[in-house]
Chains A and B, each alone.
Chain A
Amino acid sequence: MNEHHITLPEGSIEKHTTTLNLGPTHPATHGVFQNIMELDGERVVSSEQTVGYIHRAFEKIAERRPLYQITPLTDRLNYCSSPINNMGWHLTCEKLLGVKTPKRVDYLRVIIMELSRIADHLICNSIVGVDSGAFTGFLYVMQYRELIYEIFEEVCGSRLTTNIGRIGGFERNFSNTAFTKLEKFLKEYPVALGELESLLKRNRIFMERTIGGGPISAERALNYGFTGPNLRAAGVDYDVRVHSPYSSYEDFEFTIPVGTTGDNYDRFLVRQEEMWQSMHIIRQAYQKIQAFKGEEAEVYHANVPEYYLPKKEDVYTKMEALIWHFKIIMGEVDMPKGEVYHSVEGGNGELGFYLISDGGRSPFRLHFRRPCFIYYQAYPEMVKGSMLSDAILTMSSLNLIAGEMDA
């Protein structure tokens, strides 16, 4: 110690750790949630999360809404892949109402769901790239997310919060433009995805940054209720699409990638491989759709007039259709009594809908099982002892979506 060394005043307590307030609105959190971190130098000693900044009381609002008015609420859960949420909700309703959908509808749904899974994983993986210092990949693949959104736009009219589909199928048949765009996507996207992969996968800097960061063992991941890519990265091959197939997923050939250590690199690899598998599924579904001939090739919804909104042209010109439209929109058709739990494989994991109906126009209780909300609580355990910059990377590789967390 020399004369230049700063000495603390007599009697003051020397504090060894720094408290850092990360969030609620911080560029690195990619969403509205707060982390209060206790740092020793650059190492994370402990952290505590605060969520709920964009809580919108969906579960309460849903208790007054008829089924169709709940679909736009589900859009706003995981808004990176809203079509999956919409369809998960419609599938839940169909399970409750006992609606059987035609095969062509199932395959069209599979195409849309896999496209949104790609959009979801694309964001997550390219953001992991951004947070580790590689901005190029992110901007480069965005144009393919744009292409996916154009397909959604062609099918339902909107892009991000899609409100896509109806109970029993789709609001309209896919147009030729939609299929042309899908073909374009199928042709061009693998090239871009391959380039993103070659940019990061064996990149020394990226590997050094991600390998060993934010690991979680399979046991802990299961105990924490992990699902989806994050659980698979830890080495558990649980996928709702395979375990409890919905929307005819059993007709498709695909593999479920698993990791071993559950670290950031494994999560990246699992998501990357899932995108390839999604492409594989979309190709198969598109083939199956092209195989339909004659009348079957025009089917885009099930025959359930009590729950399926009539065509707009008919609503404007025919009395019967207008009455049904009104009845469905105002929730005049009562649901059957029952309790149903249905889950789909969302972008982040098992997205579940627990619906209790007492036979009225709207649910008695609706609960969303939001995968993000459940696995975010493991974050302190995953980042304890790691560097702050790796903790940021862990946060983005978990793919935390504030909308889903807060419901």
Chain B
Amino acid sequence: MAITNEYIQQKLTEKFGDAVYNFEENYGMLSFETLKENNLKVMQYLHDEPTLSFTFLTDLCGVNYPDNKDRELAVVYHMHNLQENVRIRFKVFASIANPDIFTASKLFAAADWMERETYDFFGVNFVGHPNLKRILNVDEMDYFPLRKEYPLEDQTRIDKDDEMFGRG
């Protein structure tokens, strides 16, 4: 029997009560939020509970919501139950001043690099990560480029020296 989104929601609320909230169904995928202290507990429960068994971590990425006061940074987990073919998404939020979130790399080896990437671009500090350093950007970089406070280059700028590009 395929597990339904209602069933997952019911199981999670039974186990965690108010700590899981904002259940939504976007394009068929159940998504919810949880407290950042709970991210590993929720993940472990989703993984271990035999009727849920979300044993595959599909994706882990960061999002920056600059307008959410004290919840500026989000980490989004996509998990997948391969037998039943059900996907689920959950988010944890942290403030940009204190972006500490527990690492999932002990549960899923796949999370290692994805967390490094999230750290690299958003500056989320994954507590307990074995090797939290930049992965795609240069080590000397002193900012976190995917945060919304760093705008893309102004397309109308005129101070560029075009001679460098053979257009002088």
Chain A residues proximal to chain B, CB less than 8 Å: 51-52, 55, 57, 59-61, 63-64, 95-96, 220, 222-225, 236, 238, 243-244, 338-341, 343, 350, 352, 354, 356, 365, 367, 369, 373-374, 376-378, 406-407
Cross-chain pairs A/B with CB under 8 angstroms, 15 sampled: A51-B136, A52-B137, A55-B136, A64-B152, A96-B27, A223-B108, A223-B110, A225-B58, A225-B108, A236-B82, A340-B27, A352-B78, A367-B61, A367-B76, A373-B113
Encode contact with A along B53-72: 1 for CB under 8 Å, 0 otherwise.
Answer: 00111110101100000000
Which residues of B have CB within 8 Å of A61? 152
For B, the interface residue count at a CB cutoff of 8 angstroms equals 34
Interface contact B57-A55, CB-CB below 8 Å: no
Asked if B87 CB lies within 8 Å of chain A CBs, one says: yes
Which residue of A57, A220, A244, A378 is within 8 Å of B145 (Cβ)?
Answer: A57
Which residues of B have CB within 8 Å of A407? 136
A348 to chain B: closest CB distance in Å? 14
Which residue of A52, A224, A365 is within 8 Å of B109 (Cβ)?
Answer: A224
Encode contact with A along B109-145: 1 for CB under 8 Å, 0 otherwise.
Answer: 1101110010001000000000000111110000001
Which residue of B78, B112, B146 is within 8 Å of A59 (Cβ)?
Answer: B146
Interface contact B121-A59, CB-CB below 8 Å: yes
**Complex Cα distance A95/B29, Å?**
12
Asked if B26 CB lies within 8 Å of chain A CBs, one says: yes
Which residues of A have CB within 8 Å of B63? 356, 365
Which residues of B have CB within 8 Å of A377? 109-110, 112-113
Chain B residues proximal to chain A, CB less than 8 Å: 26-27, 29, 31, 55-59, 61, 63-64, 76, 78, 82, 85, 87, 89, 108-110, 112-114, 117, 121, 134-138, 145-146, 152
Nearest A residue to B114 via CB reads A374
Interface contact A378-B58, CB-CB below 8 Å: no
Interface contact B59-A352, CB-CB below 8 Å: yes
Which residues of A have CB within 8 Å of B64? 365
Which residues of B have CB within 8 Å of A63? 152
Interface contact B135-A341, CB-CB below 8 Å: no
- The secondary structure that dominates the B interface is mixed
Closest 3 CB pairs of A and B: A225-B110, A52-B136, A367-B61
Interface contact B110-A238, CB-CB below 8 Å: no
Given contacts A225-B57, A341-B87, A407-B136, 9 further A-B contacts (CB under 8 A): A51-B135, A52-B137, A60-B145, A63-B152, A96-B27, A223-B109, A373-B113, A374-B113, A374-B114
Chain A CB count within 10 A is highest, among B135, B138, B152, for B135
Which residue of B31, B57, B59, B134 is within 8 Å of A339 (Cβ)?
Answer: B31
Nearest B residue to A57 via CB reads B145
Which residue of B56, B89, B112, B138 is within 8 Å of A222 (Cβ)?
Answer: B56
Which residues of A have CB within 8 Å of B85? 243-244
A130 to chain B: closest CB distance in Å? 28
Interface contact B109-A341, CB-CB below 8 Å: no
Chain B CB count within 10 A is highest, among A51, A220, A341, for A341
Which residue of A223, A354, A374 is within 8 Å of B76 (Cβ)?
Answer: A354
Interface contact A374-B136, CB-CB below 8 Å: no
Chain B CB count within 10 A is highest, among A224, A338, A378, for A224
**Complex Cα distance A186/B121, Å?**
45
**Complex Cα distance A223/B109, Å?**
6
Interface contact B112-A338, CB-CB below 8 Å: no
Chain B CB count within 10 A is highest, among A51, A225, A407, for A225
**Complex Cα distance A54/B82, Å?**
33
Interface contact B110-A374, CB-CB below 8 Å: yes
Which residues of A have CB within 8 Å of B59? 341, 352, 354, 367, 369
**Complex Cα distance A60/B151, Å?**
9
Interface contact B152-A224, CB-CB below 8 Å: no
Which residues of B have CB within 8 Å of A225? 56-58, 108-110
Which residues of B have CB within 8 Å of A378? 109
Interface contact B152-A220, CB-CB below 8 Å: no
Which residue of A60, A339, A343, A367 is within 8 Å of B26 (Cβ)?
Answer: A339
**Complex Cα distance A350/B57, Å?**
12
**Complex Cα distance A377/B110, Å?**
8
Q: A223-B109, A225-B108, A244-B85 are in contact. Are A354 and B137 (CB under 8 A)?
A: no
Which residues of B have CB within 8 Å of A352? 58-59, 78
Which residues of B have CB within 8 Å of A57? 145
Which residues of A have CB within 8 Å of B145? 57, 60
Which residues of A have CB within 8 Å of B57? 225
B104 to chain A: closest CB distance in Å? 11
**Complex Cα distance A244/B82, Å?**
11
Which residues of B have CB within 8 Å of A59? 121, 146
B68 to chain A: closest CB distance in Å? 12
**Complex Cα distance A60/B148, Å?**
9
**Complex Cα distance A377/B131, Å?**
12
